[in-house]
Structure 1
Amino acid sequence: MTSLTILDGGMGRELARLGAPFKQPEWSALAMMEAPLTVKEIHKSYINSGSQVITTNSYSLVPFHIGEDVFKERGRELTTLSGKVAREAVDECHSEAKVAGSLAPLFGSYRADLYQPGRVKELAVPLIESLNPYVDLWLSETQSVIDEVTRVKALVDTIDLEKKPFWVSFTLEDSEPTEVPILRSGETVTEAVKAMHAIGVDAILFNCSQPEIIGEAIVLTKATLSALGNDAIQIGAYANAFPPQPKNATANEGLDELRKDLTPPDYLTWVKQWHDDGASLIGGCCGIGPEHIEAITEYKASLK
């Protein structure tokens, strides 16, 4: 049986539920500015639900959300705070949970069309340097463009002298059926897996997409890694609970309605399938909360 490490769930909906300041364009970044203790409370709720890895609330700390001026003036400060708050949550829970440093798409979620390779270093370095003292691993998440991940990992390799594990999580096209699973850039999962194998990532995950297409991607990823003779890269998944998003959507546009067929027991059905297919890193994305993580924790306990 494949091992299982439990990740956390979404941050945005939990912030809204607890009454934290929450609006566009800042999204979850606003809580780092005005309510960091609420962020810590959410981290703790996930730890207490069984999460073995929590993710820093640094996802929206990019110009796309907070603007160019605020990023220049406060980007490092706020990113440092996101790392500190996550680390404090682990310590205060007397937990052995790991802290993953969230490195989001630098030019907007789902927006491969906005990608600017020439600005990657300028935007990524402050994030990496600010998170580095607080995190146990890196999570380059909700990525749509292979080249962005490649460039960001090269920067991490230069800055992180401890060589912490580097995980990448891709978001998948799910607005309409495709012949094979593809990233939102149009690049195929097979191309992405081969590229990640080449640069030496420690894990390949899929997130912020429908659980159905994530399941297909897991199977394809395992087969591709097997063909490459690489069984060291872990595979993971954390789906969102939203209906399929149109091609012109931008992640975090608002609090979308949740699918009614992804309650904790329903979501656990997908978790079990992913685990059976070889995923060892499993949690949730937007709309997946502590109650879902509790269900995964109970499932993991039943495996012993």
Structure 2
Amino acid sequence: MELQERLKQGDVIIIDGGTGTEMEKRGAPMVEKGWCARSTLTHPELLHQIHEDYIRAGADIIITNTFATSRHVLEACGLSDQFEAINAAATRIACEVRDHTADRPVDVAGSMSTTTFGTAQPPPAVAEANFNRQAEILAEGGADFLILEMMRDIDYTNIVLKAAKRTGLPVWLGYSTAIKEDGQVRLLYHDVSLADALQTLSADDVPVVSIMHTLTEDIGSSLDMLQTHWSGPMGVYAHSGVFKPPHWQFIDIISPADYAAEAAKWVERGVQVIGGCCGIGPEHIEVLSAQLEGSIKGTDQ
């Protein structure tokens, strides 16, 4: 059954957890200004195993290891000549794992992000060209849909959204948020309100909007704002830990049981797409999936 049909009938769909952080946790080296950008080429077998572990844990969607592989990010860390190879390999590995591991329908989401890891954003025309080509590579490689992650402004979100939609594939979008001292829900590291960002979207643009790479304690208020300005399907995949470039600090990581308990609250609020971001691993997804199995997830399959 296609994802859109599952969403329409009210199913809860499980996304995988963090891939870049799981690569680092298992020994793949990170790079300055590019985080996990090179790990697909240096540790392809490890990436293969991580995707497989997430599928076996119950993920209905696995996300390509391309969050940090836009051309301008790779240029900043000296890997621009490997732009095509890295994006193509990441997509191929995810699709191969899906085809050879899954005993049920699993979709591959091609990840794209405007995150630059401290480097200045490129000029809009350069960003547009870079995102156009990245989206093409992900689509040509077999991604079932594209997922825009850690959106934190309006202008560059519109650029990457336009590029993703040019492929003709469905495009999901995820905002990263934080609650400021004044209590306002704003996009992470930017003085842009989530409300303003959401008002630029329509259901014709994206079928699903998620709150992702956000602390679990900030999810509730973020969902309040999301539900005020968005009437379509919602997703949540939070993070746990701290990023000190170029490494993820696995400090005070939420337990799988506690994360599943938080996820249950999100589902009660109508969230249909649940997973994890940085610091959330296969062990979290396994407990989460088991908790939802037989209740809301897949009851009509």
**Do both proteins adopt the same fold according to a TM-score greater than 0.5, normalized to the shorter chain?**
yes
Alpha-carbon distance in 2 for matches of 1:60, 1:252? 13
**1:173 is aligned to 2:182:** no
Structure-2 change in CA distance of 1:86 and 1:74 (3 Å): same
Distance 1:81 1:251, change over 3 A: farther
Separation in 2, partners of 1:120, 1:19: 31
Give the letter aligned to residue 105 of structure 1. T
* Contact 2:30-2:247 within 8 A present in 1 as well: no
Q: CA deviation at 1:12?
A: 2.6
Q: 1:216 to 1:106 in 2, by over 3 A?
A: closer
Q: After superposition, what is the alpha-carbon deviation per residue over 1:69-95, rounded to whole angstroms, capped at 9, x for unaligned?
A: 855422112101111010001011034
Structure 2: how far apart are the matches of 1:301 and 1:220?
28
CA spacing shift, 1:157–1:13, aligned 2, 3 Å: closer
* Counterpart residue type for residue 64 of structure 2: T
Amino acid at match of 2:184: V
3-state DSSP of counterpart to 1:182: strand
Structure 2 counterpart of 1:122, from 129, 133, 137? 129
Contact kept in structure 1, 2:55 and 2:102, CA below 8 Å: no
* Structure 2 residue 288 is the aligned partner of structure 1 residue 296: yes
Give runs of ≥4 in structure 1 deviating > 4 Å. Answer: 68-71
Match of 1:97 in 2: 106
Specify the alignment match of 2:6 in structure 1.
Answer: none
Match of 2:145 among 111, 118, 137: 137
1:40 aligns with 2:45: no
Inter-CA distance 141–120: structure 2 relative to 1 (3 Å threshold): same
Residues 79-124 of structure 1, C-alpha deviations (whole Å, 9 max, x = no match): 0111101000101103421000100115337x8x746423221221
Q: Secondary structure at the match of 1:54?
A: strand
The 1-side partners of 2:267 and 2:108 are apart by 22
- AA matched with 2:241: F
- The code of the aligned residue for 2:107 comes to K
Q: What is aligned with 2:4?
A: none
> Structure 1: how far apart are the matches of 2:133 and 2:79?
9
Q: Matched residues in 2 for 1:237 and 1:191: separation? A: 19
Aligned partner of residue 294 in structure 1, secondary structure? helix
Say yes or no: does 1:154 pair with 2:162: yes
Structure 2 unaligned residues grouped into runs of 5+: 1-8
Deviation larger for 210-219 or 74-83: 210-219
Tell me if the contact between 2:237 and 2:277 (Cα under 8 Å) persists in the aligned partners. yes
Retained in 2: the 8 A contact 1:165–1:202? yes
Deviation at 1:63, TM superposition (A): 4.9
Q: How high is the sequence identity, in percent, across the aligned residues?
A: 23
Pairing 1:209-228 to 2, within 5 Å after superposition: 209-225=214-230
C-alpha separation in 1, matches of 2:191 and 2:225:
16
Q: Which has the higher strand share?
A: 2
Question: TM-score if structure 1 supplies the norm length?
Answer: 0.85
Structure 1 equivalent of residue 240 of structure 2: 241
Taking the aligned partners of 2:228 and 2:294, their CA distance within structure 1 comes to 28
Structure-2 residue corresponding to 1:247: none
Measured on the aligned residues, the alpha-carbon RMSD in Å equals 2.3
User: TM-score when scaled to structure 2?
Assistant: 0.86
User: Unaligned stretches of 5+ in structure 1?
Assistant: 226-230, 244-249
Number of residue-to-residue matches in the alignment: 285
